[in-house]
C-alpha cells in the first residue's frame, strides 16, 4: 500500500494529506510569534527560561489563545520552549484562577 496522496498546504507550503488541506492551519510557531507581537515581544523573549512577571503574563495569554485555536498542549509547549506539556497545563489552570 502506498502513501496517501498529498498536496502542498496553502499556508505553510508543507506537504499534507489531501484531507488535511481542506482546512489550512498556520503553524504554532507562526501563531505564537504573531500573538507575541501583539504584546510588543519576540518569540525568542518568550522562550527564555526567566520568570519575570510580565513575561509570564504574556506567555499565559498566548497559551490561552493558542489553546483556543485548537493546538495541543505538546505543540504549545514545544513552541514556547517548555520541556513538558504539563507546564502548559499548569499555565492554563493557573490563568483560569486569576
pLDDT means per 10 residues in the chain (98 residues)? 63 58 66 87 87 88 87 88 87 75
Q: Closest Cα partner for 70 from 12, 10, 25, 15? A: 25
Residue 17: inside a domain, yes or no? Answer: no
Residue 10: inside a domain, yes or no? Answer: no
Q: Closest Cα partner for 61 from 36, 33, 25? A: 36
Residue 20: inside a domain, yes or no? Answer: no
pLDDT at 22: 43
Here the CATH number for the domain that contains residue 66 is 1.10.1750.10
pLDDT at 20: 43
- Give the largest Cα separation in the chain, rounded: 53
Q: Return d(Cα 63, Cα 6) in angstroms, integer.
A: 30
Count Cβ atoms within 10 A of the Cβ of residue 9 and give its class: 0-12 exposed, 13-18 middle, 19 or more buried: middle
In sequence order, what are the beta bridge partners of 8? 15
Domain total in the chain: 1
Q: Give the domain extent around 35.
A: 26-97
Give the pTM: 0.67
Amino acid at each position: 500500500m502506498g502513501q496517501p496522496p498529498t498536496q502542498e498546504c496553502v499556508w505553510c507550503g508543507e506537504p499534507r494529506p489531501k484531507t488535511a488541506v481542506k482546512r489550512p492551519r498556520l503553524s504554532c510557531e507562526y501563531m505564537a510569534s504573531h500573538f507575541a507581537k501583539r504584546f510588543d515581544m519576540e518569540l525568542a523573549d518568550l522562550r527564555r527560561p526567566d520568570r519575570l512577571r510580565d513575561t509570564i503574563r504574556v506567555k499565559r495569554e498566548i497559551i490561552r489563545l493558542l489553546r483556543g485555536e485548537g493546538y495541543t498542549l505538546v505543540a504549545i509547549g514545544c513552541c514556547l520552549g517548555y520541556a513538558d506539556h504539563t507546564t502548559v497545563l499548569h499555565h492554563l489552570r493557573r490563568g483560569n484562577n486569576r
